[in-house]
């Protein structure tokens, strides 16, 4: 079993993919150092060295070994710290395969899949006898895969002036989202939508100023 010694996460607080990894680390009670990467500025040499293929966050560094891509990292965390916290992936091979399928689908085109996920959440409720999360009684792999986006869902609702997870259209997902955001694992990790909006307003202003300076 791996220890929690020398665990670092190269990430960005506003990145849902970095949030995803933090959710997994918190669920497994793994201590780690968060190294903030300014994704809108020049990429650090450390990030380029740690992830030379994609050159992006998140990157987990565990005992000087690097693991890239958020879903891969979540699975690594679950397997590396089997004795800490609850299991993230389901123990049943079929349920594990289904969770991986939906997690991959969410990342490819998650907005168009809300209706399908609503159906999936209903199927999960039948299999889990009405338990609170996709993972059952506690947060699991699919909860983390989708829950990391909820701050951005709220941003979309603020900008668009409507509810993306409308209780009347998606009652299962809306209830799940409320439970997830109230869970201890999500607190202090999934960013508040107003914080995201304020941050990106400043980023856009900085980029506009830089473009103006370059054009002069």
Residue 62 lies in a domain: yes
Residue 135 lies in a domain: yes
Which CATH number fits the domain that encloses residue 151? 1.20.1050.10
Share of the chain above pLDDT 90, in %: 60
What's the CA gap between 58 and 142, in Å, rounded?
18
The answer to whether residues 97 and 177 belong to one domain is: yes
Give the dihedral sign, CA 173/179/184/187: positive
Q: Which residue has the higher pLDDT, 152 or 109?
A: 152
Bridge partners (DSSP) of residue 136 are 133
Buried b (16+ CB within 10 A) or exposed e, 188-216: ebbbebeebeeeeeeeeeeeeeeeeeeee
Instruction: pLDDT band for 5, please (50, 70, 90 cuts).
Output: low
The whole domain housing 62 covers: 7-80
The answer to whether residues 114 and 70 belong to one domain is: no
The answer to whether residues 134 and 58 belong to one domain is: no
Last residue of a domain, one of 16, 46, 80: 80
Sequence-ordered list of residues with C-beta below 8 angstroms from that of 18, at least 6 positions apart, any chain: 9, 11, 12, 57, 58, 70
Of the candidate ranges 131-140, 160-169, 172-181, 190-199, the one whose mean pLDDT is the lowest: 160-169
Instruction: pLDDT band for 111, please (50, 70, 90 cuts).
Output: low
Q: Which residue has the higher pLDDT, 156 or 61?
A: 61
The answer to whether residues 100 and 175 belong to one domain is: yes
Q: Is the pLDDT of residue 113 over 80?
A: no
Return the pLDDT at 211.
Answer: 76
Question: How is residue 115 written in tokens?
Answer: 């209706």
Instruction: pLDDT band for 205, please (50, 70, 90 cuts).
Output: confident
Residue 126 lies in a domain: yes
| Mean residue pLDDT across the chain | 87
Q: Is the pLDDT of residue 2 over 60?
A: no
**Number of domains into which the chain is organized:** 2
- pLDDT tens sequence across 47-87: 999 999 999 999 999 999 999 999 999 999 999 999 999 99
Q: What pTM did the predictor assign? A: 0.87
Which CATH number fits the domain that encloses residue 25? 3.40.30.10
């Amino acid at each position: 079993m791996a220890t929690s010694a020398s665990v670092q996460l190269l990430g960005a607080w506003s990145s849902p993919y970095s949030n995803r990894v933090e959710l997994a680390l918190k669920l497994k009670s793994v201590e780690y150092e968060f190294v903030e990467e300014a994704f809108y500025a020049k990429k650090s040499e450390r990030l380029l060295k740690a992830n030379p293929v994609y050159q992006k966050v998140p990157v987990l560094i565990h005992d000087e070994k690097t693991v890239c891509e958020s879903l891969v990292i979540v699975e690594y965390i679950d397997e590396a710290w089997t004795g800490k916290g609850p299991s993230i992936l389901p123990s049943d091979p079929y349920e594990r395969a289904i969770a991986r399928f939906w997690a991959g689908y969410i990342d490819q085109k998650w907005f168009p899949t809300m209706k399908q996920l609503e159906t999936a959440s209903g199927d999960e409720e039948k299999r889990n006898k009405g338990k609170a999360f996709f993972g059952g009684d506690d947060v699991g792999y699919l909860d983390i895969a989708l829950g990391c986006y909820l701050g951005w869902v709220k941003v979309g609702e603020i900008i668009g002036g409507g509810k993306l997870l409308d209780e009347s259209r998606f009652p299962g997902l809306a209830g799940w989202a409320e439970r997830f955001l109230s869970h201890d694992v999500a607190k202090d990790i999934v960013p508040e939508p107003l914080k995201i909006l304020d941050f990106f307003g400043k980023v856009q202003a900085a980029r506009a100023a830089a473009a103006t300076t370059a054009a002069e």
